Amino acid sequence: MPTPGAQLYLGLISGTSADGIDAALVRMGEKQIPLDPPFSKGEEQQIRCELVIGRTYAWDPALRERLIALGQGQDTVSLDALGSLDVQVALAFAHAASRLLREAGVTPAQVRAIGSHGQTVRHRPEAEFPFTWQLGDGNTIAERSGIATVADFRRRDVAAGGHGAPLMPAFHAAMLHSDIEDRAVLNLGGIANFTLLPRAGEVRGFDTGPANALLDAWCERHVGHAFDADGAFAASGCVDEALLSRLLDEAWFSLPPPKSTGREQFHLEWAQARIGDGTFAPQDVQATLLELTAATVADALLATQPQTRRVLVCGGGVRNPVLLARIAARLPGVVVESTAVYGLDPDFVEAMGFAWLARETLAGRPGNLPSVSGAKGPRVLGVVYPA
């Protein structure tokens, strides 16, 4: 039964892998969800944030190819081309929102707001003049959808000295915190990142390194598939320990949090430079790249919250049983399971999170956690584009 006074919000995101636009229609109650709630799993959290419908819509292949090239720093474009891409991404997002509402039988007038992450094409929080850039013009989304849109969530945190990432820890804390055990939420998207949820104490979060971005790219190059279904390609190979050592010998992995990264750093050319001219079987490289993700995830958790008893996994990597098994093997005594166990569809946690962030913005509440991003303080995130 919906919470009295509940409102509908719509979240949109295309992640580092750019494998599709995730759209989630979410029903949320009016009552504020505190950042450190005293509950663990149960009906209360489900009433406050309920997924009504979630879908992933494919990118136009040519547009996706352009976005990936731009995100990896392989392509430079004119101002005219960049402005055009900004609108093209926005149109794709608006179309995804409209399709979702049609499938749900919901009108735009019934939706309070859209929270749109956009598509990251560059993330430089540690540059001389720090910045992060997500394409997907909020004006266009609001105009085409007829729904108030909140977008450009990351740049205010960067302006305040933070990394602008990850932004999901506040949502994870609201939904998945427990007062009886130390937990971590692991998002296995193009890049892997953790939210650390101790029973008591401040929430932390940070990127751990590459995940699906490298695995998908290598699989597509050598097998012709967009992703390694069920980890079968990796399972057919063997880890090359010498190559794994070279991959792990990346200075970024030893940096302390807060830290964030993206496709502009961990891309196929980064891996190829370490593979060199070696005669590796493609399946052995896939197995080694998978082990790289498992190793960097496990090492990061053991270094920052070794008392963790449960890791809740979301993102596309949750559907790779080989990857999950390797992470679990490196974390003995830790339960590794999907966020679905706690009522959050792992495919749409991030899209739900940006719907939640839109609500926080409209309510004038901060959406970042300085303990996660390194920002100077809490900040209301995003820009509101009225319908």
Chain segment 325-355, per-residue pLDDT in tens: 999 999 999 999 999 999 899 999 999 999 9
Each residue's pLDDT tens digit, 205-223: 999 999 999 999 999 999 9
pLDDT reported for residue 43: 37
Q: 349: buried, middle or exposed (CB in 10 Å: 19+, 13-18, 0-12)?
A: buried
Stretch (H or E) spanning 24: strand 21-28
CATH number for the domain formed by residue range(s) 180-342: 3.30.420.40
pLDDT reported for residue 36: 41
Contact 282, 218 (CB under 8 A): yes
Q: Which residues of the chain, if any, have pLDDT below 50? A: 1-4, 31-47
| Residue 121: C-alpha distances to residues 19, 67, 98, 262, 362 (Å) | 14, 7, 24, 9, 26
Q: What are phi and psi of 151, to 5 degrees?
A: -140, 180
Record the tokens describing residue 27, joined without a space.
């029903």
Cα–chain-centroid distance for residue 334? 23
Record the tokens describing residue 105, joined without a space.
């039988």
Helix axes 321-329, 282-304, angle to 10 degrees: 50
pLDDT reported for residue 297: 98
| Residue 294: C-alpha distances to residues 178, 186, 364 (Å) | 25, 11, 38
Residue 116 three-state SS: strand
Stretch (H or E) spanning 28: strand 21-28
Contact 356, 50 (CB under 8 A): no
Pairwise CA distance, residues 227 & 250, whole Å: 25
- Scan for tokens 């080989």, then name that residue: 322
CATH number for the domain formed by residue range(s) 7-167+348-385: 3.30.420.40
DSSP state of 161: T
pLDDT reported for residue 215: 97
Residues of the chain with CATH 3.30.420.40: 7-167+348-385, 180-342
pTM of the predicted model, to two decimals?
0.89
